[in-house]
Structure 1
Amino acid sequence: MQSMDDYYSAVQLRNDHWSTLKEATAALARDPNGERAKALSDKIEDIFDSLALVEGYWAFPGLQVFDRVRRQYNHKSYDDLAFTVQRILRALTTGAYRRRLIPLERDSVDVEEHEDEATQSLEARSLAKPYFEVMVVDNLNEHQEQWLKNNFAKLRRPEDPFHYEIVTVPSLKDALIGVLFNHNIQAIIVRPGLVLDSQVELELLKRYISQASSVDNLNALEPENYGPELCRLIAQVRPELDAYLVTERSVEEIAGLDLGICRRVFYNQEDFSELHLNILRGVQSRYNTPFFTALVEYSKQPTGVFHAMPISRGKSITRSHWIQDMGAFYGPNIFMAETSATSGGLDSLLEPHGPIKEAQELASRAFGSKQTFFATNGTSTCNKIVVQALVRPGDIVLVDRDCHKSHHYGMVLAGAQVVYLDSYPLNEYSMYGAVPLREIKHQLLQLKEQGKLDRVRMLLLTNCTFDGIVYNVERMMEECLAIKPDLVFLWDEAWFAFARFGPIYRHRTAMNAANTLRAKFRSESHAIAYEAQQKALAGADLETLLNTRLIPPPNARVRAYATQSTHKTLTSLRQGSMIHVNDQDFKGEAEASFHEAYMTHTSTSPNYQIIASLDVGRRQVELEGFEFVQRQVEAAMSMRRAISTHPKLKKYFKVLTSGDMIPEEHRESGVTSHYNPEQGWTDIWDCWQNDEFVLDATRVTLAVGGTGWDGDTFKTKILMDKYGIQINKTSRNTVLFMTNIGTTRSSIAYLIEVLVEIANDLDDLLDDASMMERRGFEKRVSNLMHELPPLPDFSRFHDGFRTDDATSEGDIRSAFFLAYDENNCDYLELDGSVKAAMESGQEVVSASFIIPYPPGFPILVPGQVVSKEILEFMRALDVSEIHGYRPDLGLRVFTQDALKQQLKANAARLKMNAERYKIT
């Protein structure tokens, strides 16, 4: 049997142990006196001991049933034992316990025993009452616990919209463990009898405790503070839950406390009826989907359509003789809900006042923002909306160069002066990491020294990156605000929407960091620390400032925006995205311009199905986001462990670790991997708390150069064409597997099977290979793993697009539109005329964006000087897709005459500005 250390989470341990217990008890029942009986008994006892540590945190089967199972074993009732375990496992696997009472007596009949929730029709499943569990925290004996459960059971009514069961735990620490283990929990009742410590001693649980607690010394708490402190701690771990506090303290004492997620306080003794109604009401508030509900109701109305969209109500399809297959494929409801109307209970996305407005407000609550806006044409548009709303022509914007192309085009539209930031390179794998904080501070301090800080408007970064590098968002914002106290932050979280619902991940999201900083800046301790640092740093040089963790002034303004591709990592139809805003100056400064930018880029005919899916996706993450993200992480961790420990796979593949993808100077914790075959699982809480960069566990980057195939070939010819496995990110020698909230353990198992088959095929191929064939294979591997062109840094903008030589910002807009006139452009061949022009002393300047896939970032932007390093990198590329490059013509560049004219025009413009503002 696998040991505790083989499991990343208690949920995996529990599921697998019940499955193993079924097999062992069935074998023992078949032959109780056989040769294997002693080994089976030892195995069963070990499983019982492991399950006993965690089973009390779930309502089903519950400790009473679990104790009954152990008694059946102790009394050697092996047939009864095997039957009970089989039925429990079946109920856990199919989810049947969520729908009905599970009979466990051997002579009982369960007509639905073989009914799997996943096999039911969507219509049948939608009619079932959703199930959840309520955790009661109180140190109760067995009789008190049964009395409490009976009181709640009496209150159930057929008309209740939901069904719930009670699970009890005795202590504050058990409650924290419970909400992290049990994804079914939606509400917590904290009673005055709770104690502090748990009786459970397990390393796995200690990791969860360290994640949950932010109190320096829980043991110093007074017993009367256990309840309020628990409500506050749970708010940090699972803020979407509801808590109800039963207390014996006076109103005056309780009023000034931070009660976290507590929705209501009951004094002296709880009213079971009121508790029941409050529990249902609290869950209902998260279950509500205003726009989806309105759209469903609209689809049921008899309506005469005398406006646009012949497809509305499906009329153009049902009346057709030629496109009935479309109607059959999609079904009728999608057409019944199609409309361009904003009446009849619906709403306008551009000017929401009804259900869309309510849906956006609920999304704001779920994601921790102050305002949230829906988008139906992807995060590319969201990025342009935010940039246009916040950036004025001439503003300086700091941008990571390897960000999504929508940001670069946004800079063109806004007329920004762009300072491109270089991420640290991972030359060995032909990919970039992220932009070090030191680099950003250096650019800001340099701009400050040149008197340009007032023109600096925004810092734009991708979090997390496509490859899974995650910033320390709070620290990044804090130190940048220490230099520029009103800096606006745009965090592109296109691939990170799920992070809000993972306790570890949440701390590195833009909205969480903004809320934390707003609270911190208001504290007296922060003001004292700021004043002390200002005295210590008086007259400090640049190097000292770069090496110091800077503290922003208490009056710094927190201005954070996050754009998220909901459809990429959560449940939404394609192009469903959100903009989250946490900007202290939004109402006073940005609201009007944001509204105009939103109007500019948002269609007047948005897809209502996408909006409805965003609404429902929000409902899902508030009620089961924790569960799904937990499973997603577990799936990725299982993949890591399976590949890292398989002897066949280690021969050709390597799972890239934090140590491979994040340089040591950015990993203060010293953590190098999520899993190490020698040491087992790594406690990643410390690195997620402190390191400058961490690696998102849900993304598994696999080095495939050892197979002799480059990343693109391995993706297309092997994974896609041969095995039907879809991925979309590769580098020269890697492929990226991204788990999501829909990834199953079966999917992981299939992937491992495929990789093993590929490894076996390679073994057979090399066994039969001639000496020359082996040399050819080894050369291909060497070219992919060792002889890689270094990734080039951003060179510089041509002087015709710059204000001076002191700082690096450039006018990308002028360069972009200068290229509209074909007389200003020419084409030069990479292997001939480009090199010749550079060797003759000419400055070769790109007239377009040049974006090779992979790696997928611009290696040249309009107005950028082509450097020797960039030319060598482009010549070494062996990818078939380079956006902006014409293989038949060459590289599009500005003519020398066009550059001379641009220099003159730029000099005249700078002179005019200097005279206008009396700048010498």
Structure 2
Amino acid sequence: MKKEYNRKQDRTPLVDALKQYQEDRPAYFCIPGHRFERGVSRRWLSEEECGFLRYDLTEATGLDDLHQPSGVILESQELMADLYGAKKSYFLINGSTCGNEAMILAVLREGEKILLPRNVHKSVLEGIILSGAKPVYMMPEWIGEEGIYGGVLQQTVEEKLMEHPDCKAVFLVSPNYYGLTSNLKQIADICHENGTLLLVDEAHGGHLYFSDKLPDGALTQGADMCVQSFHKVTGALTQSSVLHIGTGRVDERRVERALKLVQSTSPSYLLMASLDAARYELASQGEDMMEKSLALSDELKEGIRQIPGMFCMNNGITGKYGVQGIDGTRVVIRCGHSSGYELKRRLMEEHRIELELADEKNVLAIITHANTREDIRRFLAALTDIAEQPLEYTGRETDPTGLPETEMVLTPREAYFSVVREVPWEMARGKIAGELIAPYPPGIPLVYPGERLSDEIWNAVEMYRRWGCHFHGPSDDSLSMFEIIEK
């Protein structure tokens, strides 16, 4: 384990308080209205199935208040910070989306610049809209042999900060969806030398801190703040996340004000309790959990390598393409005679195996300690069956490395509040985009709202449109019509 186990992590203060409260069973005249489990529709759950709803409570006596914690929630958050070595940690019940928004709101004011790659989650754009910040974009490195994006090079960050020395923050995604991490330590040093804060979307990396076989986490590499989705691999309920402050460079009061702005005033105690319990499990047996996950992952990868026509992501990309490390619990699989979309479809329809995502070349499987060897054997049998029944390759070879430069006419906030009108796609050339266009894959926006659809960009989008590519962003995903801003 990367850090010595602290026995105080045995405590689960919020879970214990909730258990005691439901055991006491006071006459309850508060929200929520289902009164423990008694008022739940039996169309949904039988009486035997709905025991967990006894813990779906509100800010009742002894249960603290997420927006002004002073009791068991505060204690639970302090235990979380202690486990991760954070200066301060905050429970998020609106997912990592609100954490990304809060980080940006806490460190940027209207008109101030933030440096970020174009493959950030859409919640980052929402945070920029809310804050009025001005984005400065950079590109992660493209790994052509794998058909995915890697990390962001430290020299890319350094060059962009030289061009824009007034950037107040750098925002990175590490690890990305495929488990690839950037060299955050070197990037953090560059940021701090320039008086810039480093914010990290570590939604997919909350487990990295519990095995030396995994890449280092953002907090251990000098990130000023990071957000982790605890529900992704660490056992908490969906929508449960954590925001960590890593250094004293961050104004905690602004973070707390931002969280009050983006979090619900009716926080779910089920979600918060799941964070408390998941933290306890990681503290007490995180190393064993990661060992099991990695062993299952290795078994799957080794089996895939024995199947003709099936391939795993090449570990040799480490040290190249901005990739500092690879999360071994992510298994990226490519089929030589099928697109990722087709492989994912066949695995589900023919073998009832559900995967996290597909792109043009790959499918992604996420392995956790809760998987079993039977899961792995079933998966390998399905891949073997598909390999023995090849279909004509249905994918496209795409190369997103040549994306054209964009012209920002309006900031995302200005674009959001602008009047838009819908025009035929053919008439959108040269106009200011009123909505996002991100061909998926690779998921990199070719244009953000407020940017001009130059001839180069329009032609690039049109190429994807003619291919029948799926788009994220446009209200008309066929792109027959498109929203523009007239200025």
TM-score over 0.5 (shorter chain): yes
Please name the residue that 1:696 is paired with. Answer: 327
- 1:738 maps to which of 366, 375, 395: 366
Counterpart among 225, 231, 241 of residue 5 in structure 2: 241
One-letter identity of the residue aligned with 2:424:
L
Distance, in Å, in 1 between the alignment partners of 2:444 and 2:462 is 16
Q: Residue type matched to 1:569 in 2?
A: V
Note closer, same or farther for the CA distance 1:475–1:880 as it changes in structure 2 (3 Å cut). closer
**CA displacement at 1:643 relative to structure 2:** 1.3
* Contact residue 844 and residue 893 of structure 1 kept, 8 A: no
Q: Name which of 452, 471, 474 aligns with 2:182.
A: 471
Q: 2:219 aligns with which of 508, 511, 514?
A: 511
C-alpha displacement at 1:663, in angstroms? 7.6
1:797 maps to 2:407: yes
- Give me the whole-angstrom Cα distance separating, in 1, the residues matched to 2:49 and 2:301: 40
The aligned residue for residue 291 of structure 2 is: 630
Cα deviation code 1:56-92 (max 9, x no counterpart): xxxxxxxxxxxxxxxxxxxxxxxxxxxxxxxxxxxxx
**Contact 1:849–1:861 under 8 Å retained in 2:** yes
CA-CA distance at 1:614 after TM superposition: 0.5
Structure-2 separation of matches of 1:631 and 1:336:
32
Q: Which has the higher contact order (CA 8 A, sep 6+)?
A: 2
Aligned equivalents of 1:437, 1:884: Cα separation in 2: 33
Aligned to 1:634, the other structure's residue is in SS state: helix
Q: Is 2:55 aligned against 1:337?
A: yes
Match of 1:639 among 292, 296, 300: 300
Give distance in 2, aligned partners of 1:238 and 1:433: 25
1:883 equivalent among 460, 473, 477: 473
Give the equivalent residue in structure 1 for 2:412.
812
**Is contact 1:299–1:333 with CA below 8 Å preserved after alignment?**
no
Which of 168, 171, 193 pairs up with 1:457?
A: 168
Alignment CA distance shift 1:740-1:815 (3 Å):
same
1:712 aligns with 2:350: no
C-alpha contact 1:368 1:511 (8 A) present in aligned 2: yes
Q: What is the identity, as a one-letter code, of the residue corresponding to 2:261? A: T
Q: Is the contact made by 1:846 and 1:894 (CA closer than 8 Å) also made in structure 2? A: yes
Instruction: Give the drift of 1:703.
Output: 1.4
Query: Where does residue 307 of structure 1 map in the other structure?
Result: 30
Residues in 2 aligned to 1:789 and 1:761: alpha-carbon distance in whole angstroms: 28
Task: Render the CA deviation track for 1:453-508: whole Å, top value 9, x for unaligned.
Answer: 2x3111000010111211121111113323x1x211111110000001112436x2
Match runs of 1:232-381 below 5 Å: 237-241=1-5, 282=7, 285-317=8-40, 323-328=41-46, 331-343=49-61, 345-381=62-98
1:347: how far off? 0.9
Distance 2:65 2:357 in 1: 36
Q: Measured at CA, do residues 792 and 816 of structure 1 come closer, stay the same or move farther in structure 2, by a change above 3 Å? A: farther
SS in 2 for 1:397: strand
User: Counterparts in 2 of 1:375-454, with a 5 A limit?
Assistant: 375-447=92-164, 453=165
1:827 paired to 2:426: no
Aligned counterparts of 2:162 and 2:461: Cα–Cα separation in 1: 31
Counterparts of 1:495 and 1:888, CA distance in 2: 31
Given the superposition, is the C-alpha separation of residues 495 and 665 from structure 1 closer, same or farther in structure 2, using an over 3 Å criterion?
closer
Contact 2:146 2:361 in 1 (8 A): yes
Letter paired with 1:852: P
Deviation at residue 368 of structure 1 after TM alignment: 1.2
Which of these residues, 560, 565, 587, is aligned with residue 224 of structure 2? 560
What is the match of residue 848 of structure 1? 435
Change (3 A) 1:710 1:436: same
Contact 1:314 1:336 in 2 (8 A): yes
How far does residue 701 in structure 1 lie from its aligned partner after superposition? 1.2
Asked if 1:858 corresponds to 2:445, the answer is yes
Structure-2 change in CA distance of 1:794 and 1:738 (3 Å): farther
Query: Which segments of 5 or more consecutive residues in structure 1 lack a partner in the other structure?
Result: 1-236, 243-281, 318-322, 448-452, 515-558, 667-691, 766-776, 802-810, 838-842, 900-920
- 1:652-701 Cα shifts (integer Å, max 9, x gaps): 22212133x568475xxxxxxxxxxxxxxxxxxxxxxxxx5222222121
**Aligned residue in 2 for 1:614:** 275
CA distance in 1 between partners of 2:478 and 2:371 (Å) = 43
* Equivalent residues in 2 for 1:150-169, closer than 5 Å: none
Instruction: Select 1:500's aligned residue among 209, 217, 241.
Output: 209
SS in 2 for 1:722: helix
Question: In structure 1, what is the Cα distance between the partners aligned to 2:301 and 2:42?
Answer: 46
Q: Structure 1 length as normaliser, TM-score? A: 0.50
- 1:653 equivalent to 2:310? Answer yes
2:310 pairs with 1:592: no
CA displacement at 1:238 relative to structure 2: 3.6
Judged with a 3 Å threshold, the aligned counterparts in structure 2 of structure 1 residues 466 and 373 are, in CA distance, closer, same or farther, namely same
TM-score scaled to structure 2, two decimals?
Answer: 0.93
Distance 2:313 2:339 in 1: 16
Aligned partners of 1:463 and 1:470 also within 8 Å: yes
SS at 2:171's partner residue?
strand
For 1:511 and 1:888, locate their aligned partners in 2 and report how far apart those are by CA, in whole Å.
42
When residues 286 and 384 of structure 1 are mapped into structure 2, their CA distance, relative to the original with a 3 A threshold, is same
**Partner Cα distance (1:308, 1:600) in 2:** 22
- How far the C-alpha of 1:880 sits from its partner, in A, is 4.1
Matched, 1:580 2:244: yes
* Distance in 2 separating the partners of 1:609 and 1:562: 23
Equivalent position of 2:384 in the other structure: 756
TM-fit CA distance, 1:891:
4.9
Q: 2:484 matched to 1:894?
A: yes
**Structure 2 counterpart SS, 1:481:** helix
State the SS of the aligned residue for 1:357.
helix
- Preserved CA contact (<8 Å) 1:730 1:855: no
Q: Match for residue 134 of structure 1?
A: none
Contact 2:203 2:227 in 1 (8 A): yes
Preserved contact between residue 572 and residue 610 of structure 1 (Cα < 8 Å) = yes
Report how far residue 437 of structure 1 moved: 1.2
**CA displacement at 1:335 relative to structure 2:** 2.6
Alpha carbons of structure 1 residues 579 and 358: separation in structure 2 relative to 1, 3 Å: same
Aligned with residue 728 of structure 1, among 356, 366, 380 = 356
Amino acid at match of 1:624: Q
Name the SS for the 2:38 alignment partner. Answer: helix
The residue identity in structure 2 corresponding to 1:812 is: P
Give me the whole-angstrom Cα distance separating, in 2, the residues matched to 1:891 and 1:864.
17
Check 1:747–1:479 CA distance in 2 against 1; reply closer, same or farther (3 A cut). same
Q: Which residue of 2 aligns with 1:57?
A: none
Number of paired residues?
A: 484
| RMSD of aligned Cα (Å) | 2.3
The residue type equivalent to 1:577 in the other structure is S
1:481 aligns with 192
Preserved contact between residue 424 and residue 435 of structure 1 (Cα < 8 Å): yes
Structure 2: how far apart are the matches of 1:733 and 1:629?
28
Alpha carbons of structure 1 residues 347 and 812: separation in structure 2 relative to 1, 3 Å? same
**Where does the alignment leave 5 or more consecutive residues of structure 2 unmatched?**
none
Identity across the alignment (%): 23
Residues 700, 314 of structure 1: alpha-carbon distance in 2 compared, 3 angstrom cutoff: closer
CA distance in 1, matches of 2:404, 2:68: 42
Q: Look up the match of 1:520.
A: none
Query: Judging changes above 3 Å, is the alpha-carbon distance between structure 1 residues 885 and 431 closer, same or farther for their aligned structure 2 residues?
Result: farther
Give the direction of change, closer, same or farther, for the CA distance of 1:303–1:640 in structure 2 (3 Å limit). same
Greater helix content: 1
- CA displacement, residues 802-822 of structure 1 (integer Å, 9 cap, x when unaligned): xxxxxxxxx22112222xx23
